[in-house]
Amino acid sequence: MLRRPKVSIIGAGNVGATAAHWIAAKELADVVLVDVAEGIPQGKALDLLQSGPVEDFDVKVIGTNDYGPTENSDVVVITAGLPRKPGMSRDDLLKTNANIVTQVTQQVCKYSPNAILIVVSNPLDAMAYVAKKVSGFPRNRVIGMAGVLDSARFCTFVAEAAGVSVEDVHGFVYGGHGDTMVPMTRFCSVAGVPLEKFLSQEKIAQIVERAKNGGIEIVNYLKTGSAYYAPSASAVQMVEAIIKDKKRILPCAVWLEGEYGISNLFVGVLAKLGANGMEKVIELDLNETEKAGLHKSADAVKSLVNVLEGSAS
């Protein structure tokens, strides 16, 4: 008898709960929502479960404060951590969230030693590093969600500026999740047509800047929280690629081992996602400007990792 896939989501805040919503609505897997706050995961899970008869989805959704029910998860999405507040950089979150992600990863590994981890907690690239170090998992089983989100923001702004359907805009972002990200405009197209046929270089440059600040733009609007619809949808696109073995080529934060001249860091690049997790890094021929941008971004990630390693010693 076939077993339905199980996805556990650690952190029942806005990102985690909304990810659970997308997964259930798509009938991708049974969902376990975990949080330290008593009653919150249980209440949100029950509420979501009760929308099944209305929305015609039939999966199990449970909420819990302990990790027992996550046992034998196929994929675990880690969203736990403090969100950014106005005036707070991603780096401010570093040490607090590193402690949270360390504790979460230890519990996840105890109950699901064969799971694939998708890290969403910020600062993203550094938290993926923590999860890999603590878990000891091979690189194909620890992936950071950033590139899908940053690319979605970039494509949204392109579609808006060009006056075209967002479904026809294809583009991706490389580098770390933050101010040093590198939207790869040379590879961006609208229905296969190069971007410069639709927009001026000046307009493209403005969109690149807006994409780099896409997260903080929303934080500044919300005042008391950060984005969650697009981040959760982005994580679930990765979950779906893995659960359904889709072999999707998606921009993700992956552990590089010499690709693009970068080693022992999580940096956003294109990768193939399937049943084994991150199955292949796609290496592009970058020009000098793109290479310089990617390496600058990698250096920013490295500086965060150095802070973490310093605090650990």
Catalytic center residues: 177
Q: Is the peptide bond before 5 cis (omega within 30 degrees of 0)?
A: no
Distances in Å between the Cα of 68 and the Cα atoms of 35, 62, 161 are 12, 12, 48
